[in-house]
Structure 1
Amino acid sequence: MRALGAALALVLSASAAKAGATVLDWSDLDGWARDDHDLARSVFLETCGDIGAEWSAVCEQARAKGPARQFFENAFQPVLIGGETEPLFTGYYEPELRGSRRQRGEFQYPIHRKPDDIPRGEMWLSREEIERSGVLAGRDLEIAWLSDPVEKFFLQIQGSGRIRLDDGKMVRVGFGGRNGHPYRSVGREMIRLGIFQEHEASAQRIKGWVRENPGSGLKMLWHNASYIFFREIDGLAEDKGPIGAMSRPITAGRSVAVDPEYVPMGAPVWLEKDGAMPLRRLMIAQDTGSAIKGAQRADIFYGSGDEAGEIAGQVRDSGRMIVLLPKKRARALSEN
């Protein structure tokens, strides 16, 4: 992990320098003084030990007692990376779905473990080819069977979820691999085809349209050739969030998915999201996603269940994201 952190630092420096980096003052952060810095520090400590050797001194400072705001201001410098690029902030959540361990009745749509024979780093069958051919059937790869193909699709978009089985038990599933195809936005395709206007393409509207048009709707989902496989997550308490890219539980309202080419995994980020539900908050970059690309691109984790999903599905906003880097790193980046 420490070697990976050092390698990532080199990539990050090159990408961030190319995108353009501006060192800011704390007074430039809108709402900084009003945030809950103690909560942000506790979330930061969840993954601090996994960032890399150069962060070890910062982690030690974070573990020491003292005012949390003072810790962040002493240890970090705010840096705006890619400030000239178009920002986009969206939301994601952990779905809770109904399912069964066996194919029966309404439960006809399986989620799978990744087959061992998919070549590493190569593109395999597309979503359409997998679902039309039944190539995964009869191989004992099914984790559970769901009652709704649309919810299965969105579970794959989210990358993790809770499945309430028909025997009353709960199964947590997380990302277990992919078929190698790049993510393609179904919402963007529906806008291109004139089905929705730009402001209408929320997750709820897409789900509704697919269900109202079961034939063409399910074919529309094939536009996203990416197919996600899952793994069961054992020993994770129900009050904990799903496992993020850093192999630790993420926290609703404080964890954010970013592009690690521009933002170090585990780093604090100050988010200024505009829109109908504006947000000014210190968050921690603890996750990634295939659709999260760019210096000013982030996906906010809103929690678990339907209510969180309703909120997350409406978020598609502008604003800016400011990365908090250790002072030495910030100085070096600004000098490039």
Structure 2
Amino acid sequence: MLSSFSLGAEAARRHYRSHHHHLPQLPATPPRALPYPQLPLPFEISGAQYLPLAWADVKGWSDDDHLAAYKTFRASCRSINAQTVAPEPKSEYKALGASLSEPCRAAKSLELSDDAKAKTFFEENFAPLRISRLGEPDGFVTGYYEPVLEGSRTQTDVYNVPVYRRPSNLFVRGYKQDSVSLPNKGPVYRKIGRRKLVPYYDRGEIEDGKIAGRGLEIAWLKDPTDLLFAQIQGSARIKFDDGTTLRLNYDAYNGYPYTAVGRILIERGIIPKEEMSMQKIREWMAQNPDGAKELRRQNRAYIFFREVNLSDKDEAVGAQGIPLTAGRSIAVDKSLHVYGTPFFIEGELPIDSERSKTPFHRLMIAQDTGSAIIGPARADLYFGAGADAGRVSGRLRHPMHFVMLVPKSLDPTPRAARLPVPDPRPSEKIAKLFPQTEPAKDQAKPAAPAAAVAPGKGETVAVASPVPLPVPRPVIEPVQELRRPAKNRPHRQQ
């Protein structure tokens, strides 16, 4: 009876509430939108920080030879304008994308011969953007050049170091085996038969003769150190006894990451970091032939070359496919940047001598790449061919200011103005009442007093105490009542 009564009463209460005290149902509160709801950022380069500038804020901009930079830029534009599709594979994933085609079309009909007009061209078609790696104030530059080496077309007792062309069994996924200039990053395989792929030989195996005698020798050099430096630079000129010259360019690599031999010498304490240069490396290798052999093999990467039809008057060909310009071309990270992008690089470099601090403020054009060039503000400066260029480029390892020139169509300043404004910050009064104080490093120290006198000053500075956090509610375990045994429980009378 009691059980039936309870169920009936509960049903009556529910009926009464639903018919006589029914409150209107309020619409559900919509979820709060994020400050930036699925809007693309105005400009984005992975791992980079950047700041829009005015041209007047670009230090040294007015002191440069803008006409020389314009001529180098137009050389890149010839390659960009010749493209019927995107300038580079997957360029749509890069910050600039195909936007350089617009200023390149403008430069196509402008045969400028005046420095002031060249300067005006860059200012009217580009916006300056200070750029560096995330969390770092500056970029970093090194230098490279084209070695001029003595060699022979045939093997002799003096010339016995082979320069190899790309082997036919070298395979890179996504590329035909006869493609020109395979990428310098990613895995590379050796094809065995029709299907089996294994990693390609490393430097030690190749130096031990794994691919010797297969007709891959382009020429022969005197010293394996000459070959190592030619491979690091990515190009070389070989002069023969009959007065002729052979021009070589990068064609492929064996799939192993580049290891800087100079860094190994620094880590071993052989050459101090402040004295490191390519000339120091060469001198140590000449004095320690056995150690040089072991040091070379620490860099397992190996470069294969191809012959190029260039005269001695032409500069080396960069990865963009055009001859480089000494003092104006740079190698950049191809995964982040587009060939043809202008970069204004400013700072001091030891150009005149090892100890000199020569002012350097120059507009450079991205026309090449390298496996060791990684990051948004990382560049390798091309200085030309020969021993003098090698001495200058060999001592460059310096932080520099980088200003990237962005086409006006991608200027991040007006595009950023269309982004929604984030939530307002607390008022100044609220911020003073509830300061965000960091926890004390030493918990044993007593709490700071309510007022403290700043050292060296006669003023009393009020220090607000941190707002105490609420004490967490204690967890109370429910106490279960002891129940009597069923045999002692009195029977309910019917």
| TM-score calculated relative to the size of structure 1 | 0.91
Structure 1 residue matching 2:69: 3-state secondary structure? helix
Stretch moving more, 105-114 or 84-93: 84-93
Q: 2:129 aligns with which of 67, 70, 79?
A: 79
Instruction: Provide the rounded CA distance (Å) in 2 between the counterparts of 1:169 and 1:149.
Output: 22
The letter of the residue matching 1:279 is F
Aligned residue in 2 for 1:38: 67
RMSD: 1.9
* C-alpha deviation, 1:190, in angstroms: 0.9
Residue 105 of structure 1 aligns with an amino acid whose one-letter code is D
Give SS of 1:222's match.
Answer: helix
Please list, as runs of the form range in 1=range in 2, the aligned pairs for 1:263-274 lying within 5 A after superposition. Answer: 263-274=337-348
* Aligned pairs (5 A) from 1:138-287: 138-234=213-309, 236-275=310-349, 276-287=357-368
The structure-2 alpha-carbon separation of the partners of 1:287 and 1:273, relative to structure 1 and needing over 3 Å to count, comes to farther
C-alpha change, 1:258 and 1:168, in structure 2 (3 Å) is same
1:112 offset after TM fit, Å?
Answer: 0.5
The secondary structure found in structure 2 opposite 1:54 is: coil
2:170 match: secondary structure: coil
* Distance in 1 of aligned mates of 2:213 and 2:274: 42
Q: Classify the secondary structure of the residue corresponding to 2:298.
A: coil
Contact 1:171–1:232 (Cα < 8 Å) also in 2: yes
Residue 54 of structure 1 and its aligned partner are, at CA, apart by: 3.1
Unaligned runs of 5+ in 2: 1-39, 81-86, 88-97, 173-186, 189-198, 350-356, 420-494
Q: Offset of 1:271 from its aligned partner?
A: 0.6
Counterpart CA distance in 1 for 2:157 and 2:241 is: 11
Shift of 1:17: 5.3
Q: Deviation of residue 125 (structure 1)?
A: 1.4
**1:130 equivalenced with 2:206 (yes/no):** yes
Partner-residue secondary structure (3-state), 1:45: helix
Aligned-residue identity in percent: 41
**Cα shift at 1:33:** 0.7
Residue 306 (structure 1) aligned to one of 371, 387, 393: 387
Aligned twin of 2:18:
none
Tell me which of 103, 118, 123 is aligned to 1:58.
103
Matches within 5 A, 1:9-28: 14=44, 16=45, 18-28=47-57
Q: Give the distance between the partners of 1:209 and 1:27, measured in 2 at CA.
A: 47
Amino acid at match of 2:165: R
Range with bigger deviation, 42-51 or 204-213: 42-51
CA distance in 2, matches of 1:111, 1:28: 48
CA distances 1:124-161 after superposition (whole Å, capped 9, x unpaired): 111112112x0121111011000111111000000001
Which of residues 312, 316, 326 is equivalent to 2:397? Answer: 316
C-alpha spacing 1:230/1:147, structure 2 compared with 1 (3 Å): same
Specify which structure has the bigger relative contact order, considering alpha-carbon pairs within 8 angstroms and separated by 6 or more residues: 1
Amino acid in structure 2 at the alignment position of 1:60:
R
Report the counterpart of residue 4 of structure 1 in structure 2.
Answer: none
Match of 2:151 among 93, 99, 103: 99
Question: Are the aligned partners of 2:132 and 2:139 in contact in 1 as well (CA < 8 Å)?
Answer: no
Amino acid at match of 1:329: L
Structure 1 residue 326 corresponds to structure 2 residue 401: no
- Distance of aligned partners of 1:80 and 1:260 in 2 relative to their CA distance in 1, 3 Å threshold: farther
Secondary structure in 1 aligned to 2:247?
strand
Cα distance in 2 for residues equivalent to 1:333 and 1:137: 60
Which residue number corresponds to residue 457 of structure 2?
none
With over 3 angstroms needed to count, the CA separation of the structure-2 counterparts of 1:278 and 1:334, relative to structure 1, is farther
Q: Going by fraction, where is helix more abundant, 1 or 2?
A: 1
| C-alpha contact (below 8 Å) 2:132/2:402 kept by paired residues | no
- The Cα of 1:174 is off from its aligned counterpart by 0.2
Higher-Rg structure is 2
Determine helix, strand or coil for the equivalent of 1:98: strand
Residue range with higher mean Cα deviation, 324-333 or 164-173: 324-333
Higher mean Cα deviation, 57-66 or 38-47? Answer: 57-66
Q: How many residues align?
A: 322
SS at match of 1:274: strand
Task: Decide whether the 8 Å contact of 2:51 with 2:130 is kept in 1.
Answer: yes
Once structures 1 and 2 are overlaid, which stretch shifts more, 90-99 or 315-324?
315-324
Shift of 1:278: 3.2
- Corresponding residue SS for 1:278: strand
Does structure 2 retain, via aligned residues, the 8 Å contact 1:22–1:334?
no
8 Å contact 1:118–1:124 — kept in the other structure?
yes
Deviation at 1:277, TM superposition (A): 3.2
CA distance in 1 between counterparts of 2:381 and 2:415 reads 27
Counterpart CA distance in 1 for 2:153 and 2:329 is 31
Note the C-alpha offset of 1:273.
Answer: 3.3
Deviations 1:89-139 (A, max 9, x none): 11100000000110013101011101010121424111112112x012111
Q: Which residue of 369, 385, 395 maps to 1:288?
A: 369
How much has 1:216 moved relative to structure 2? 1.2
Give yes or no for contact 2:344–2:405 (8 Å, CA) kept in 1. Answer: yes
Equivalence for 1:109? 161
* Contact persistence 1:256–1:300 (CA under 8 A): yes
SS of match in other structure, 1:20: strand
